[in-house]
Amino acid sequence: MKKWKNKIIDTVKRIKNEKLIQKYFKENAVFVTFLITGVINATMLRFFTMPTIENYLSFRPILADFCVLLFFGSFSFLFKKKKGRFKYLLVLEIIFTLICVINSIYYTFYTSFASASMLSLTQFIGPVGDAVVENVLQLKDLLYLFGPIVLIIVYKKQKKHLFETESKKVRKKRTAHTLETALALFVLFAITLSSLDIGRFVKQWNREYIVMRFGIYVYQINDVFVSLQPKVTSIFGYDQAKKQFETYFQEEKETPKNEYTNIFAGKNVIVIHGESVQDVALNRTFNGQEVTPNLNRLAKEGLFFSNYYSQVSVGTSSDTELTFNTSLMPSKSGTAFVSYFDRKYNAIPSYFKDKGYYTFSMHANNADFWNRRAMHKSLGYDKFYSKETYKVSDDNIIGLGLSDKAFYQQSIEKLKKIKEEKGEPFYGLLISLTNHTPFSDVEKYGEFDVDIKETVTHEDGTTEEVSHPYMEGTKLGNYFKSLHYADEALGEFLKALDENGFLENTVFIFYGDHDARLPQSDFNRLYNYDQETETVKKEDDPTYREYNSYHYELDRKVPLIIWTKDHQVQGTVEDTMGMIDAMPTLGNMFGFYNPYALGHDIFTIKDENVVVFPNGNWVSNKVYYNSQKEEYMSLKEEEVIEEDYIEKNNKYAENLLDVSNDIIVFDLLNQDKNEQKKKK
């Protein structure tokens, strides 16, 4: 022991006396700059995306990121010339910088981190490119570019201090020592990990948690392997997935029966997939004018589900179509519509088709966007009326394509033809488009002010009309304008349906597909605007309404409305409900049952329902739980939340996500294919 102690002391003295550290920094300035800028970028990304005290004080992800940079950077010492070493480090710097930039932009839009599995979806970026630039790209996303710039500057300034050539032996020795240091530090990092950390790292579905614990670079490397996993596991992991699937559904479920069982059997169905419609707009007025008068009327006259949540991942609208129609969650890697369109799905259109319905879908966008042309066949639609069947011209385009008013007007003619040629019953889905981010075609939405107007009486008795900006000029304000237009178009469509006799024996269903990805700061302004100062109230203001990340998440809920002309069903359902609960709930109403639905008939489960999100978060009537922070907000202040309630629902969420993904990846609902695998 004494021998080792003396050796360490001698080494420290030698380093100090010979100024080895200063010498190392001087001779390897570019390499050190690469390490420092890489760590700074990774740390900035975590701070900007997840601004929590825990994140600020965590050293582990910094250590993990440093190990990755040290590992890849070590191979630069193998280059014989300084120019070659610099070029290699610059390429690495650019790659790691792009990782930070892409994830920064991606997190702003999806509140999650990017995946290599999304490379297959780059074909869908073009049509929404303007939305990304206008609604998502921010100044902070460009800060990461300082890394390559600083590296180039340091190289230029340090040229004369750098070696010209080094012997092969010296270069190999430096590489080996750097790799050994990286390995030693990574081992030090690894021994701090818990079993929970390792479990979530392997499964990768809770991305925020992984970045908070492992750093962005380790996450991204692991993600590449996880993204390749479906290609491998679909060959080798079938047996384990099948076993887990059978265990999950081992208890035979009885077909649920309640007061809504078969209430709509045999009726026609028209479903509206409302682009980016959030509950926050319903029953909201500006200067006495409703944002969504038609949706408000439908909600009042029909059955309104007031705590209904979208459960999308990176597939946004396509994920909603999947969850609504199949009662499955989005796939962990890529999107089901693109990566797993050739699977067997127990879907709503298929069940209606089995009952003799003619099934169709309508959307005035490119048929291959989100691969709908192929996936709608897999879901059971007889026909997909896409953009090629609509008349689109410069004067009827708003946002990404054909305006909702033109879309509905032309769809009425298609409905007439369907009724004439195919008769009844029919099941039809119409996917709207106008209310899509970036909500910038304000001049085309029509007159709808989101300011505050008031009449001020002066001392001399004269009056003056005063306007306070309120939500004018904000993204949320423009969203309200866009949605007011979309609601007006919906009202005109309902009127046309009625005039043409489509509402007599028809159930009309409306759902919002997902939230509009609007800034949290705009919501804070919405709830805390001070018209006297025309600013947002301070938190110490007694009238200030607290609005944190939990309130923001809860505000992302979307409407689900079931309406009939004769008001056959009415009321408000307040129990928490997710998109995957739509299928079993509607199935009970129309007389079909999916034994492999992961959701529940809300009228059977009621208060016990738990809505799971793809990132592992979940919400019930009692709690909103954040799995990244491992904390929750109670939704019922008077009720004490037991720890076992949290643990039970965490386990439920994990199992549900795993089984749902296995069903999709391994095509577990395709019995014919499964039998063939068994024979092999």
What does the pLDDT look like over 155-207, one tens digit per residue? 888 766 555 566 778 788 888 988 998 999 999 898 988 887 887 787 776 78
Report the alpha-carbon distance of residue 158 to residue 164 in Å, rounded: 12
Residue 644 lies in a domain: no
Residue 643 lies in a domain: no
User: Which residue segment(s) compose the domain that 167 sits in?
Assistant: 2-236
Tokens of 589: 């109403």
Residue ending a domain, choose from 546, 577, 602:
602
Q: Are residues 432 and 481 in the same domain?
A: yes
Q: Are residues 214 and 287 in the same domain?
A: no
Question: Of the given ranges (164-168, 189-193, 281-285, 376-380), which has the lowest mean pLDDT?
Answer: 164-168
Q: Are residues 45 and 131 in the same domain?
A: yes
Residue 245 lies in a domain: no
Tokens of 533: 């100062």
Residue ending a domain, choose from 559, 575, 602:
602
Condensed to tens digits (0 to 9), the pLDDT of residues 106-142 reads 887 667 788 776 665 555 555 544 444 455 567 788 8
Report the alpha-carbon distance of residue 248 to residue 230 in Å, rounded: 21
SS3 211: helix
Residue 638 lies in a domain: no
What pTM was computed for the model?
Answer: 0.84
Place of tokens 């990461």: 144
Report the alpha-carbon distance of residue 320 to residue 327 in Å, rounded: 10
- Structural element, H or E, at residue 213: helix 207-236
Residue 377 lies in a domain: yes
pLDDT at 51 over 60: yes
Question: Residue 493 contacts by C-beta under 8 Å, 6 or more apart in sequence?
Answer: 408, 411, 412
Q: Are residues 503 and 431 in the same domain?
A: yes
Q: Are residues 398 and 518 in the same domain?
A: yes
**Tell me, what's the pLDDT at 11?**
46
- Per the DSSP assignment, residues forming a β-bridge with 396 are none
Q: Are residues 225 and 284 in the same domain?
A: no
Condensed to tens digits (0 to 9), the pLDDT of residues 645-675 reads 999 999 999 999 999 999 999 999 997 556 5
**Tell me, what's the pLDDT at 207?**
81
Which of these, 529, 482, 491, lies nearest to 510 by C-alpha position?
491
Condensed to tens digits (0 to 9), the pLDDT of residues 543-562 reads 999 999 999 999 999 999 99
Q: DSSP readout, 455-469?
A: EEEPTTS-EEEEEE-
Q: How many domains does the chain have?
A: 2
Residue 624 lies in a domain: no
Q: Are residues 344 and 227 in the same domain?
A: no
Residue type, 563: W
Which of these, 36, 45, 35, 33, lies nearest to 216 by C-alpha position?
45
Return the number of other C-beta atoms located less than 10 Å from residue 662's C-beta. Answer: 22
**Tell me, what's the pLDDT at 488?**
98
Q: Are residues 475 and 563 in the same domain?
A: yes
**Tell me, what's the pLDDT at 660?**
96
Mean pLDDT of the chain: 88
SS3 511: strand
